[in-house]
Amino acid sequence: MSDKQGKQSSQKSRTSFRYVIISVTLILFLVGSLFMLFFGINKALIQIKESIEIEVELNRDITQGGIDSVKTALLTKEYIKSMNFVSKEDAIKNFEKELNQNIEDIAGFNPLYDAYLLTIKNEYSVPDSIKLVKSDLMAIGGVKNINYSNAALELVNANLKKVSTVGIIVILILLIIAYSLIDNTIRLMMYSKRFTIRTMQLIGATKWFIVKPMVGKGTLSGLFSGIIAILLIGGGVYYLQYKYSLLNIQQSDYLYLGLAALALIVIGLVICFVSTYFSVNKYLKTKLDELY
Protein backbone atom coordinates (compact mmCIF):
# COMPACT_ATOMS: atom_id res chain seq x y z
CA MET A 1 0.00 0.00 0.00
CA SER A 2 2.85 2.33 0.91
CA ASP A 3 4.64 1.56 -2.37
CA LYS A 4 1.44 2.27 -4.29
CA GLN A 5 0.99 5.61 -2.57
CA GLY A 6 4.65 6.43 -3.21
CA LYS A 7 4.27 5.68 -6.92
CA GLN A 8 1.11 7.79 -7.12
CA SER A 9 2.85 10.65 -5.34
CA SER A 10 5.86 10.37 -7.66
CA GLN A 11 3.57 10.30 -10.71
CA LYS A 12 1.69 13.38 -9.50
CA SER A 13 4.99 15.15 -8.90
CA ARG A 14 6.22 14.44 -12.43
CA THR A 15 2.89 15.49 -13.94
CA SER A 16 2.92 18.72 -11.93
CA PHE A 17 6.52 19.39 -12.97
CA ARG A 18 5.67 18.86 -16.65
CA TYR A 19 2.63 21.10 -16.33
CA VAL A 20 4.78 23.89 -14.88
CA ILE A 21 7.36 23.55 -17.67
CA ILE A 22 4.66 23.64 -20.38
CA SER A 23 2.91 26.64 -18.80
CA VAL A 24 6.09 28.65 -18.23
CA THR A 25 7.38 27.77 -21.71
CA LEU A 26 4.22 29.12 -23.34
CA ILE A 27 4.43 32.35 -21.33
CA LEU A 28 8.12 32.88 -22.14
CA PHE A 29 7.46 31.98 -25.78
CA LEU A 30 4.81 34.72 -25.91
CA VAL A 31 7.21 37.28 -24.37
CA GLY A 32 10.00 36.27 -26.75
CA SER A 33 7.73 36.28 -29.80
CA LEU A 34 6.48 39.77 -29.00
CA PHE A 35 10.08 40.93 -28.64
CA MET A 36 10.91 39.44 -32.06
CA LEU A 37 7.87 41.17 -33.56
CA PHE A 38 9.08 44.59 -32.41
CA PHE A 39 12.62 43.66 -33.41
CA GLY A 40 11.40 42.85 -36.94
CA ILE A 41 9.41 46.10 -37.21
CA ASN A 42 12.38 48.08 -35.93
CA LYS A 43 14.71 46.39 -38.44
CA ALA A 44 12.29 47.15 -41.30
CA LEU A 45 12.15 50.85 -40.35
CA ILE A 46 15.94 51.02 -40.06
CA GLN A 47 16.23 49.41 -43.48
CA ILE A 48 13.88 52.04 -44.91
CA LYS A 49 15.87 54.81 -43.22
CA GLU A 50 19.16 53.50 -44.57
CA SER A 51 17.67 53.32 -48.08
CA ILE A 52 16.92 57.07 -48.19
CA GLU A 53 19.39 58.50 -50.69
CA ILE A 54 21.50 61.62 -50.34
CA GLU A 55 22.44 63.17 -53.68
CA VAL A 56 25.87 64.79 -53.80
CA GLU A 57 25.80 67.10 -56.86
CA LEU A 58 29.16 67.92 -58.40
CA ASN A 59 30.20 71.14 -60.12
CA ARG A 60 29.13 71.38 -63.76
CA ASP A 61 32.67 71.92 -65.03
CA ILE A 62 34.24 69.17 -62.91
CA THR A 63 36.83 67.00 -64.67
CA GLN A 64 37.24 63.22 -64.45
CA GLY A 65 40.13 63.81 -62.09
CA GLY A 66 37.86 65.91 -59.90
CA ILE A 67 35.19 63.17 -59.90
CA ASP A 68 37.81 60.62 -58.82
CA SER A 69 39.03 62.99 -56.13
CA VAL A 70 35.51 63.33 -54.70
CA LYS A 71 35.16 59.54 -54.74
CA THR A 72 38.41 59.15 -52.81
CA ALA A 73 37.19 61.67 -50.21
CA LEU A 74 33.80 59.91 -49.88
CA LEU A 75 35.46 56.53 -49.35
CA THR A 76 37.06 57.89 -46.16
CA LYS A 77 33.70 58.84 -44.61
CA GLU A 78 32.68 56.27 -42.00
CA TYR A 79 29.02 57.33 -42.04
CA ILE A 80 28.47 56.25 -45.66
CA LYS A 81 26.77 52.86 -46.06
CA SER A 82 26.72 52.66 -49.87
CA MET A 83 27.76 54.87 -52.77
CA ASN A 84 26.88 54.98 -56.45
CA PHE A 85 28.03 57.40 -59.17
CA VAL A 86 25.48 58.66 -61.73
CA SER A 87 26.81 60.73 -64.63
CA LYS A 88 24.74 63.63 -65.96
CA GLU A 89 24.34 61.75 -69.25
CA ASP A 90 22.83 58.71 -67.51
CA ALA A 91 20.72 60.97 -65.29
CA ILE A 92 19.18 62.83 -68.23
CA LYS A 93 18.42 59.53 -70.02
CA ASN A 94 16.58 58.20 -66.97
CA PHE A 95 14.76 61.52 -66.52
CA GLU A 96 13.67 61.64 -70.16
CA LYS A 97 12.53 58.02 -69.98
CA GLU A 98 10.31 58.79 -66.97
CA LEU A 99 8.82 61.97 -68.53
CA ASN A 100 8.79 60.58 -72.07
CA GLN A 101 10.21 63.91 -73.31
CA ASN A 102 13.55 65.05 -74.70
CA ILE A 103 14.72 67.55 -72.09
CA GLU A 104 17.94 68.46 -73.92
CA ASP A 105 15.99 69.46 -77.05
CA ILE A 106 13.64 71.61 -74.99
CA ALA A 107 16.30 73.27 -72.79
CA GLY A 108 19.04 73.28 -75.37
CA PHE A 109 21.50 71.70 -72.88
CA ASN A 110 21.70 69.05 -70.19
CA PRO A 111 20.51 70.79 -66.98
CA LEU A 112 21.51 67.90 -64.71
CA TYR A 113 24.79 67.34 -62.89
CA ASP A 114 27.17 64.47 -62.25
CA ALA A 115 26.34 63.14 -58.81
CA TYR A 116 27.09 60.51 -56.20
CA LEU A 117 24.07 58.84 -54.60
CA LEU A 118 24.79 57.90 -50.99
CA THR A 119 22.97 56.04 -48.27
CA ILE A 120 23.90 56.77 -44.65
CA LYS A 121 24.28 54.34 -41.75
CA ASN A 122 21.39 54.23 -39.29
CA GLU A 123 23.20 55.89 -36.38
CA TYR A 124 23.96 58.96 -38.54
CA SER A 125 20.46 59.23 -40.05
CA VAL A 126 19.07 61.49 -37.32
CA PRO A 127 18.35 65.25 -37.65
CA ASP A 128 21.39 66.49 -35.69
CA SER A 129 23.86 64.08 -37.30
CA ILE A 130 22.53 64.55 -40.83
CA LYS A 131 23.24 68.29 -40.61
CA LEU A 132 26.85 67.53 -39.67
CA VAL A 133 27.03 65.00 -42.52
CA LYS A 134 25.73 67.62 -44.96
CA SER A 135 28.30 70.20 -43.80
CA ASP A 136 31.08 67.62 -44.03
CA LEU A 137 30.09 66.65 -47.59
CA MET A 138 29.82 70.28 -48.69
CA ALA A 139 33.41 70.80 -47.54
CA ILE A 140 34.68 68.37 -50.18
CA GLY A 141 36.19 70.15 -53.19
CA GLY A 142 34.09 69.83 -56.34
CA VAL A 143 30.76 69.39 -54.50
CA LYS A 144 28.08 71.86 -55.57
CA ASN A 145 25.04 70.88 -53.51
CA ILE A 146 23.57 68.20 -51.21
CA ASN A 147 19.97 67.02 -51.73
CA TYR A 148 17.92 64.63 -49.58
CA SER A 149 14.36 64.18 -48.39
CA ASN A 150 14.35 65.64 -44.90
CA ALA A 151 10.60 64.98 -44.54
CA ALA A 152 11.03 61.26 -45.27
CA LEU A 153 13.93 61.03 -42.82
CA GLU A 154 11.98 62.77 -40.05
CA LEU A 155 8.93 60.56 -40.66
CA VAL A 156 10.94 57.32 -40.37
CA ASN A 157 12.78 58.58 -37.27
CA ALA A 158 9.45 59.53 -35.65
CA ASN A 159 8.02 56.08 -36.39
CA LEU A 160 11.15 54.39 -35.03
CA LYS A 161 10.80 56.36 -31.81
CA LYS A 162 7.13 55.39 -31.53
CA VAL A 163 7.85 51.70 -32.16
CA SER A 164 10.65 51.70 -29.57
CA THR A 165 8.50 53.44 -26.94
CA VAL A 166 5.44 51.25 -27.55
CA GLY A 167 7.63 48.14 -27.66
CA ILE A 168 9.25 48.89 -24.29
CA ILE A 169 5.89 49.65 -22.64
CA VAL A 170 4.15 46.57 -24.07
CA ILE A 171 7.03 44.22 -23.17
CA LEU A 172 7.17 45.63 -19.61
CA ILE A 173 3.40 45.10 -19.22
CA LEU A 174 3.75 41.60 -20.64
CA LEU A 175 6.59 40.84 -18.21
CA ILE A 176 4.35 41.86 -15.31
CA ILE A 177 1.59 39.62 -16.66
CA ALA A 178 4.14 36.83 -17.23
CA TYR A 179 5.33 37.13 -13.63
CA SER A 180 1.76 36.91 -12.39
CA LEU A 181 0.94 33.86 -14.54
CA ILE A 182 4.17 32.01 -13.72
CA ASP A 183 3.80 32.86 -10.04
CA ASN A 184 0.26 31.44 -9.99
CA THR A 185 1.43 28.32 -11.83
CA ILE A 186 4.22 27.73 -9.29
CA ARG A 187 1.85 28.39 -6.40
CA LEU A 188 -0.56 25.77 -7.75
CA MET A 189 2.28 23.25 -7.90
CA MET A 190 3.28 24.08 -4.32
CA TYR A 191 -0.35 23.90 -3.23
CA SER A 192 -0.45 20.29 -4.39
CA LYS A 193 2.62 19.61 -2.24
CA ARG A 194 1.41 21.39 0.89
CA PHE A 195 0.78 18.15 2.81
CA THR A 196 4.18 16.77 1.74
CA ILE A 197 5.78 19.92 3.14
CA ARG A 198 3.83 19.54 6.39
CA THR A 199 4.75 15.84 6.69
CA MET A 200 8.45 16.59 6.23
CA GLN A 201 8.15 19.34 8.81
CA LEU A 202 6.47 17.02 11.35
CA ILE A 203 9.17 14.32 11.08
CA GLY A 204 11.82 16.90 11.96
CA ALA A 205 13.17 18.06 8.59
CA THR A 206 14.88 21.45 8.75
CA LYS A 207 13.56 24.41 6.80
CA TRP A 208 16.51 24.35 4.36
CA PHE A 209 16.16 20.58 3.86
CA ILE A 210 12.55 21.16 2.72
CA VAL A 211 13.14 24.34 0.77
CA LYS A 212 16.29 23.30 -1.12
CA PRO A 213 14.92 20.48 -3.34
CA MET A 214 11.67 22.27 -4.09
CA VAL A 215 13.33 25.56 -4.96
CA GLY A 216 15.86 23.60 -7.02
CA LYS A 217 13.08 21.84 -8.93
CA GLY A 218 11.19 25.09 -9.46
CA THR A 219 14.34 26.84 -10.72
CA LEU A 220 15.09 23.87 -12.98
CA SER A 221 11.63 24.17 -14.49
CA GLY A 222 12.39 27.83 -15.26
CA LEU A 223 15.67 26.84 -16.93
CA PHE A 224 14.05 24.12 -19.05
CA SER A 225 11.18 26.42 -19.97
CA GLY A 226 13.53 29.20 -21.05
CA ILE A 227 15.60 26.84 -23.21
CA ILE A 228 12.54 25.28 -24.86
CA ALA A 229 11.00 28.72 -25.51
CA ILE A 230 14.26 29.90 -27.13
CA LEU A 231 14.43 26.77 -29.32
CA LEU A 232 10.84 27.35 -30.49
CA ILE A 233 11.47 31.05 -31.19
CA GLY A 234 14.80 30.22 -32.82
CA GLY A 235 13.05 27.76 -35.14
CA GLY A 236 10.53 30.43 -36.11
CA VAL A 237 13.26 33.02 -36.66
CA TYR A 238 15.27 30.60 -38.82
CA TYR A 239 12.18 29.84 -40.91
CA LEU A 240 11.29 33.52 -41.43
CA GLN A 241 14.89 34.56 -42.08
CA TYR A 242 16.08 31.84 -44.44
CA LYS A 243 12.83 30.85 -46.09
CA TYR A 244 11.23 34.26 -46.56
CA SER A 245 14.01 36.78 -45.61
CA LEU A 246 11.48 38.76 -43.57
CA LEU A 247 13.67 39.72 -40.60
CA ASN A 248 16.81 40.91 -42.43
CA ILE A 249 19.06 39.73 -39.58
CA GLN A 250 22.67 40.84 -39.98
CA GLN A 251 25.86 39.43 -38.45
CA SER A 252 25.90 42.25 -35.88
CA ASP A 253 22.39 41.32 -34.69
CA TYR A 254 23.35 37.87 -33.37
CA LEU A 255 25.04 39.23 -30.24
CA TYR A 256 21.96 41.36 -29.52
CA LEU A 257 19.63 38.38 -30.08
CA GLY A 258 21.89 36.16 -27.98
CA LEU A 259 21.65 38.59 -25.06
CA ALA A 260 17.85 38.69 -25.49
CA ALA A 261 17.75 34.87 -25.39
CA LEU A 262 19.89 34.86 -22.24
CA ALA A 263 17.56 37.46 -20.70
CA LEU A 264 14.59 35.19 -21.43
CA ILE A 265 16.27 32.29 -19.58
CA VAL A 266 17.15 34.58 -16.66
CA ILE A 267 13.53 35.80 -16.49
CA GLY A 268 12.29 32.19 -16.28
CA LEU A 269 14.90 31.27 -13.67
CA VAL A 270 14.36 34.31 -11.44
CA ILE A 271 10.55 34.21 -11.49
CA CYS A 272 10.43 30.43 -10.83
CA PHE A 273 13.03 30.71 -8.06
CA VAL A 274 11.31 33.61 -6.29
CA SER A 275 7.81 32.13 -6.65
CA THR A 276 8.87 28.67 -5.42
CA TYR A 277 10.83 30.05 -2.48
CA PHE A 278 7.99 32.22 -1.20
CA SER A 279 5.36 29.53 -1.82
CA VAL A 280 7.29 26.89 0.16
CA ASN A 281 7.89 29.35 3.00
CA LYS A 282 4.20 30.20 3.01
CA TYR A 283 3.21 26.57 3.64
CA LEU A 284 5.97 26.13 6.21
CA LYS A 285 4.32 28.88 8.24
CA THR A 286 0.73 27.84 7.58
CA LYS A 287 -1.20 26.20 10.41
CA LEU A 288 -2.42 22.64 9.90
CA ASP A 289 -6.11 23.61 9.91
CA GLU A 290 -5.49 26.15 7.16
CA LEU A 291 -4.02 23.53 4.81
CA TYR A 292 -7.46 21.99 4.20
The 3-class secondary structure across 200-222, one letter per residue, is: HHHCCCCHHHHHHHHHHHHHHHH
Nearby residues of 270 by Cβ (< 8 Å), 6 or more positions away: 222
Angle 253-285/150-191 helices, nearest 10 degrees?
30
Select from 1.10.10.10, 3.50.50.100, 3.30.70.3040, 3.40.50.150 the CATH code of 53-148: 3.30.70.3040
Query: Of all residues in the chain, what percent carry a pLDDT higher than 70?
Result: 80
User: What number is the average pLDDT over the span 78-93?
Assistant: 85
pLDDT of 227? 92
Higher pLDDT, 110 or 274: 274
User: What number is the average pLDDT over the span 90-112?
Assistant: 67
Tell me how far apart the alpha carbons of residues 26 and 92 are, in angstroms, rounded to a whole number: 58
pTM above 0.95, yes or no: no
Tell me how far apart the alpha carbons of residues 56 and 11 are, in angstroms, rounded to a whole number: 73
- The vertex-102 CA angle with 99 and 107, nearest 5°, equals 110
Render pLDDT for 198-250 as a digit per residue (tens, 0 to 9).
677 677 777 677 778 778 888 888 888 889 999 998 888 888 777 776 667 77
Higher pLDDT, 228 or 160: 228
User: What number is the average pLDDT over the span 121-132?
Assistant: 84
Longest Cα–Cα distance in the chain: 107
Mean pLDDT estimate for the chain: 79
Higher pLDDT, 4 or 253: 253
Render pLDDT for 29-47 as a digit per residue (tens, 0 to 9).
988 888 888 888 888 888 8
User: What number is the average pLDDT over the span 279-292?
Assistant: 63
Residue 74's pLDDT band, with cuts at 50, 70 and 90, is: very high
Ranges in the chain annotated CATH 3.30.70.3040: 53-148
